[in-house]
Structure 1
Amino acid sequence: MSGATPATQWLRRAGIAFRAVEYRYDPGAERVALQAAEAIGLPPERLLKTLMVEVDGRPACCVVPGDRNLSMKRVAAAFGGKAAAMMPPDKAERLTGYRTGGISPFGQRRPAPTLFETAALAMGEVAVNGGKRGLLLLLDPQAALAALGAGAAALCVG
């Protein structure tokens, strides 16, 4: 692995076991999460993408399977708000300290309340972004949820 990231350092401090896997990041891919899953030979539902949103203007983090789409109505309700929208990429980068395409729920500069898609928790090992483009961390989703103090909710459609 070509160096530690805040995400890998955070997981080590939290005592969460993980395996790091690097792949060739393709910024031109139509759906980056699906390209990443294919690159490491993982079913797309087991690659969890990290999406930064705003619920009633407040930051929040959603961790969802790469082949699913967020329902903003469900996201708003799950975080106890009225309206949700995707956070602009430049704002997400400033808040998390990561570049888009490499945002991890772990080790964010300013951690936001986090929810995992419920369906992701029923899987065995999953891949989550490792804090830089081209780096995935394979780990137990239940351990990740517990370490983050995150919750779970039905956030997706499709």
Structure 2
Amino acid sequence: MTPAIDKAKQARIEYLVHEYEHDPAADSYGREAADKMGVDPARVFKTLVVGEGKTLFVAVVPVLRQLDLKCLARAVGVKKVAMAEVGLVERVTGYVVGGVSPLGQKKPLPTVIDASAETAGTIFVSAGRRGLEIELSPRDLAALTGASFADIAK
């Protein structure tokens, strides 16, 4: 089990774990996950960590879309954000980039989920390592991470 799966289990929410053989040559972890699991990529979300100075935030966006940094900055009430450095992301979250989960991070960070997730019955996010996804309701994800929903993808 990963910290993400442990968190879902402890919360006693409904979830499913999906595992697939990760190809290290894949150029998009999220697109690879959707293809290998045979699910609509609109339901597969990536976890990105951004920062404003020393303050970090998590953005959860559909894998086929890009994070709109300006919209995220507005959503979290800061002037500007930028993508966090890989080493910092891995130290703070406890996960390897490409397998960062919004759940079970070493240091919980303020989280925003793209509003497109609200219309899905369930979505897929990383379960804490490459080749492992957790399927859960967007509402449960928001409750477990203290997240808000906002239009943050373009």
| TM-score range normalised by the length of the shorter chain | over 0.9
Distance 1:72 1:64 in 2: 12
Q: Is structure 2 residue 71 aligned with structure 1 residue 74?
A: yes
Distance 2:142 2:9 in 1: 15
User: Which 4+ stretches in 1 moved above 2 angstroms?
Assistant: none
Q: Deviations over 1:85-134 (max 9, x none)?
A: 11111110000000011100111001100010001111111111001111
Give the structure 1 partner of residue 128 of structure 2: 131
Identical positions, percent:
38
Q: Which of 95, 105, 110 is 2:107 aligned to?
A: 110
Residue correspondence of structure 1 range 30-109 to structure 2 within 5 A = 30-109=27-106
What one-letter code is carried by the residue in structure 1 that aligns with 2:148?
G
Conservation of the 8 A alpha-carbon contact between 2:108 and 2:145:
no
SS at match of 1:61: strand
Q: Which of 131, 142, 146 is 1:145 aligned to?
A: 142
TM-score (norm 2): 0.96
TM-score (norm 1): 0.93
Give the structure 1 partner of residue 19 of structure 2: 22
Deviation at 1:55, TM superposition (A): 2.8
SS at match of 2:129: coil
Moved more, 119-128 or 89-98: 119-128
Gaps of 5+ in 2: none
Equivalent residues, number:
154
